[in-house]
Structure 1
Amino acid sequence: MITEPLEGFLPLFRSWFDTAAMAEKVGVSGSPENLLVELDLGPMVEAELRLLNHTPANAAEAACMLEVVRQNMGDAGRSDGLDLRAVAAVQRWLADQSTNEAEGQPVERLLRRARV
């Protein structure tokens, strides 16, 4: 998992998001009239890998990561598990923002904090 903020995270996310919206609007089937049949989606795949391997630096990045994961889960999830790792990174970031602890599982830290 990348621990440094990804330079240009939000512009990269915007590109990914716009491409995903276009793909959903037109459809990604093998029909001859499909405009995306000729489109190289390699850059979108690479962008998604970079987005999902990122540790969020703020709430906006966390929300954007969850959008990538939400769309993947709508398509039955990623076979490489990056969507689940991204959710874990967001959980860890949220726990770090909510507690003064840096050790332990994120949910456990939040539950300990709630008892105080």
Structure 2
Amino acid sequence: MANDIAMHVAAAQPRWVRREDVPADALEHEREMISRQARNEGKPENIIPRIVEGKIGSFYKDHVLEEQPFVKTETFDGTVGEMVAGLAATMGENIRVRRFARLAVGEET
């Protein structure tokens, strides 16, 4: 499983392990950008909060490891978090991803 998760991290490039790991300032910045974009598109003010929440869900799926769909769908069809939880239940152990490191050559962050 560790090898599969490492391959997933290399392919999907998550930034955080869990939702709780996302810094408040990064989340607030994303919310502001989404709100601004919705207003610029002329969306009604009363539906902007729902738009923001929907797009924040997509933000989590893009950037949070446990929320991302597992890239090796032939092995497991679900999120990384569901895969880890399923393995933990099968083995009867407390298994979780605590952290990861992703290195890239020639890439700026």
Give me the TM-score of the superposition, normalised by structure 2. 0.26
- The structure where helix makes up a greater share of residues is 1
Give me the TM-score of the superposition, normalised by structure 1. 0.25
Higher relative contact order (CA 8 A, sep 6+): 2
